[in-house]
């Protein structure tokens, strides 16, 4: 597949949407479709990588103004809108990321859940997400995730998930921290779970600003932090590496996007 406008892809998308709508309506479920809008500039690198994957072409010149309007998907979107209108299915044009609008509708209790494989929905505030949703009569499946279980069982808040995305990499900061996996990232997040700390977006930005601007070199330097944060030496060494690798990370902008 070299061009997203090729008829096989367009036909496949419309066909899949048709059968999904039919399946949902048959079980008395009224879906609300959400269409992507203009992507934030932070996502330009990821979108460029995806475009290269779709077209098989590598961009040799750096664009000063990357195209974030998803024009390549406009024909597919219009076909989907026609199909949705034919069914009488409500749809919403998101001004930005579709997951953000899905999360808003869900958190506002206007819809019961979000059907998406993108875990970013929780970072935007979604409460219930259906992943790997399939209505295939031979192999139907769905994985249901609830934010209240993430909070109660995993002890992770929305702010923790934002930090997790920054550490491991996300659409807005794809590189993450090198050689840091999920286990290590969770150790770092757990180290902030101190009774004397209230970890919210404001604290997260202040802490990362101190970490990346002060650049503590050792455990003694780290223990001079203004947050009265005391953790073991192995975790401190991990934070020291995070401070170096996030120096160019627009973490404040990433946090505000979520």
Distance of CA 44 to the CA centre of its chain: 14
* pLDDT exceeds cutoff 70 at 239: yes
Report the distance separating Cα 200 and Cα 224, nearest Å.
21
Percent above pLDDT 90 for the chain: 64
127 vs 197 pLDDT, higher one = 127
Report the distance separating Cα 69 and Cα 64, nearest Å.
15
**Of the given ranges (20-29, 36-45, 108-117), which has the lowest mean pLDDT?**
36-45
Phi/psi for 93 (5° steps) reads -90, 110
Residues 6+ apart with CB under 8 A from 122: 103, 129, 145, 147, 150, 158, 161
Strand partners, 34: 92
Q: What is the mean pLDDT of residues 204-229?
A: 96
Digit-coded pLDDT (tens) for 62-78: 444 455 555 667 788 88
Digit-coded pLDDT (tens) for 156-195: 999 999 999 999 998 888 899 999 999 999 999 999 998 8
CA-wise closest residue to 21 among 8, 12, 33, 7: 33
* pLDDT exceeds cutoff 80 at 134: yes
């Amino acid at each position: 597949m070299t061009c997203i406008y090729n008829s096989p892809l367009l036909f496949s998308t419309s066909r899949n949407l048709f059968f999904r709508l039919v399946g949902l309506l048959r079980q008395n479920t009224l879906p609300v479709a959400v269409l992507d809008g203009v992507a934030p500039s932070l996502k330009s690198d990821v979108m460029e990588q995806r475009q290269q994957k779709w077209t098989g072409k590598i961009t040799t010149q750096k664009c000063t103004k990357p195209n974030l309007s998803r024009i390549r998907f406009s024909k597919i979107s219009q076909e989907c809108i026609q199909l949705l209108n034919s069914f009488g299915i409500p749809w919403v044009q998101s001004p930005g990321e579709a997951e953000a609008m899905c999360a808003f509708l869900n958190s506002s209790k206007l819809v019961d859940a979000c059907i998406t494989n993108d875990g970013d929905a929780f970072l935007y505030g979604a409460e219930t997400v259906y992943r790997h949703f399939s209505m295939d009569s031979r192999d139907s499946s769905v994985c249901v995730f609830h934010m209240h279980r993430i909070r109660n069982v995993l002890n992770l808040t929305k702010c923790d998930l934002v930090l997790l995305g920054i550490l491991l990499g996300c659409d807005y900061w794809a590189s993450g921290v090198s050689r840091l996996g999920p286990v290590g990232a969770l150790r770092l997040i757990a180290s902030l779970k101190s009774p004397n700390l209230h970890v919210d977006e404001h604290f997260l930005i202040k802490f990362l600003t101190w970490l990346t601007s002060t650049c503590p070199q050792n455990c003694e330097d780290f223990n001079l932090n203004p947050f009265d944060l005391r953790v073991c030496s192995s975790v401190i060494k991990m934070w020291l590496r995070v401070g170096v690798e996030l120096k160019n990370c627009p973490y404040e902008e990433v946090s505000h996007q979520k």
